[in-house]
Amino acid sequence: MSKSLKMVYKVVIALLVVVLAACSSQSSEKTDTKMMSDKNEKSSVRVGVVFTTAGLGGESFNDLVFEGVKRAKDDLGVEFDYVEPKSVSDQEITLDEMASSGKYQLVIAVGFEQVDAIKVVAKNYPEQKFALIDAQVDLPNVSCYVSREEEGTFLLGALAALVKKEGTLNMLNKEKVIGFIGGVESPLINKFAAGYTAGARYVDKDLTVLVDYAGSFNDPSTAKVIAETMHSKNADIVFHAAGASGMGLFQAAEEKGFLSMGVNSNQNKIKPDYIMASMLKLANQASYEVIKSVVENAYKPGINTLGLKQEGVGITLDKSNIKVSEDIVKTVDDIKKKIIDGSIEVPTALDKVDSFIESHQLGK
């Protein structure tokens, strides 16, 4: 073979190597870009959230809802904005601003105090998807998530009565008195009170349950005074459903030396030596699920109800330093099973508790 021909072959081979290398590089580059694009892909869904006037903080209901929203951002790639209104009138203004902006595929209103506002705003913006958490309305563009709070608080009331009956914990007296502090007097908060009272009297029908209201979900000073007054009347276990006002109860429990119980999220860790248990209301799951339904084009208006059976409510002793006996824990669990199987139908109003107790008593 001539030298010139050999030279041609060498040139051709060199060119082929360069071309193949370039193709390989382009293929690799495209693959890496696609993988990066998939990894960073965001949902086109943007969510607006309007909290209750209690605001965020205090390990309470708003914080629980917010937890679900943040999880949706992490898991589903949604974006969100939120507002902590200072007054109920601000809530309607904020909902209207969010709906009229056209920026949000879903607007979430939190709490029963927004029922009137969402009725007005949702009717004005029929194409906007709304969610109402912790209350219900009958509108074609609102998906509502409500809980059977009374089922969870029934277990707390039973726990309080069982602990009183056993009488082995510090800070307990021999008087048959416990207490309940609500945020405001309303059908929703009375469900908490009814369940708690019924659960306590189901265990001990002679137990007295003191009931009072702070008048606000963001007034710990008033709740503290109420708790101190209840303690002066021999209540040694007090449960609250009062939002951020409940922080006043915990402060009173620490200062006066009595037991308390938290609500919505696990508040035991706030003052573990004085908070025995918390009633859980898993609003984080509600906020996450409704956002997910929008992302997956599966949003449906209507009412979704979450109780013990659906694992939407419950109680926890975790992170409390107050040790409850295994016998009591087992008894509470047995009561829970009776609620789930329908043997116990928990009353939802205080005026129904007496008739319930007439036909329901632990061990009978």
> pLDDT (tens digit, 9 = 90+) per residue, 122-156?
999 999 999 999 999 999 999 999 999 999 999 99
- 196/178 Cα distance (integer angstroms): 10
pLDDT attached to residue 310: 85
Rounded (5°) CA angle 237-324-207: 35
pLDDT at position 165 over 70: yes
Q: What share of the chain is helix, strand, coil (3-state, %, to 5)?
A: 50, 20, 30
Instruction: Give pLDDT, residue 57.
Output: 82
- Predicted confidence (pLDDT) at residue 54 exceeds the cutoff of 90: no
| Mean pLDDT score, 224-243 | 98
Left if phi > 0, otherwise alpha if psi is -120 to 50, otherwise beta: which for 46? beta
For the chain, the residue count is: 364
Q: Which of 85-89, 175-179, 210-214 has the lowest mean pLDDT?
A: 85-89
Instruction: Provide mean pLDDT across the span 112-125.
Output: 96
Does residue 210 carry a pLDDT above 60?
yes
CA end-to-end span of the chain: 109
- Residues 147-165 as b or e (16 or more Cβ within 10 Å = b): bbbbbbbbbbbbbbbbbbe
| Residue 130 vs residue 243, higher pLDDT | 130
Percentage of the chain modeled with pLDDT above 70: 88
Average pLDDT over residues 205-224: 97
Q: The CATH number of 46-147 is which of 3.40.50.2300, 3.30.70.860, 3.40.50.410, 3.30.1360.120?
A: 3.40.50.2300
pLDDT for 97 beyond 90:
yes
Strand order across the 130-133 sheet: 79-83, 46-50, 106-110, 130-133, 142-147, 302-306
The pair of three-digit structure tokens given for residue 89, joined into one six-digit string: 């009138």
Name which of 337, 319, 362 is nearest 162 in CA terms: 362
Mean pLDDT of the chain: 89
Which pLDDT band holds residue 41 (cuts at 50, 70, 90)? Answer: low
* Runs of H (alpha helix) within 204-245: 220-232
Contact indicator for 14, 74 with CB cutoff of 8 Å: no
**Distant-in-sequence, close-in-space partners of 251: CB < 8 Å, separation ≥ 6:** 220, 224
The sign of the dihedral angle between the CA atoms of 221, 226, 230, 233 is positive
CB 143 within 8 A of CB 123: no
Q: Which residues contact 265 (CB under 8 A, 6 or more apart)?
A: 59, 60, 61, 63, 64, 278, 280, 281
pLDDT at residue number 35:
26
Report field, pTM of the whole predicted structure over 0.85? no
* Cβ atoms of residues 205 and 269 within 8 Å: no
- Give me the pLDDT at residue 60, please: 73
What is residue 195's predicted lDDT score, i.e. its pLDDT? Answer: 99
Q: Please compute the mean of the pLDDT values over residues 25-39 and round it to a whole number.
A: 31
Task: Identify which of 62, 68, 135, 143 has the alpha carbon closest to the alpha carbon of residue 105.
Answer: 143
pLDDT of residue 265: 86
**Amino acid at site 151:** E
CATH 3.20.20.10 fits domain 149-280+325-359: no
Q: Which residues contact 305 (CB under 8 A, 6 or more apart)?
A: 146, 147, 148, 312
- Note the pLDDT of residue 17: 40
Indicate the residue type of 246.
G
Nearest in space to 212 (alpha carbons), one of 241, 174, 171: 241
Domain ranges of the chain: 46-147, 149-280+325-359
Mean pLDDT, to the nearest integer, of 280-295? 93
Tell me: the pLDDT tens digits for 309-356?
A: 988 899 999 999 999 999 999 999 999 999 999 999 999 999 999 999
Asked whether this chain's domains 46-147 and 149-280+325-359 adopt the same fold, the reply is: yes
| Residue 21, pLDDT above cutoff 80 | no
- pLDDT score at 50: 97
Predicted local confidence at residue 311, as pLDDT = 85
Q: Does pLDDT of 55 surpass 60?
A: yes
Report the C-alpha gap between 154 and 202 in whole angstroms. Answer: 9
Say if residue 248 is exposed, middle or buried (CB neighbours under 10 Å; 0-12, 13-18, 19+).
buried
CA 52 to chain centre: 13
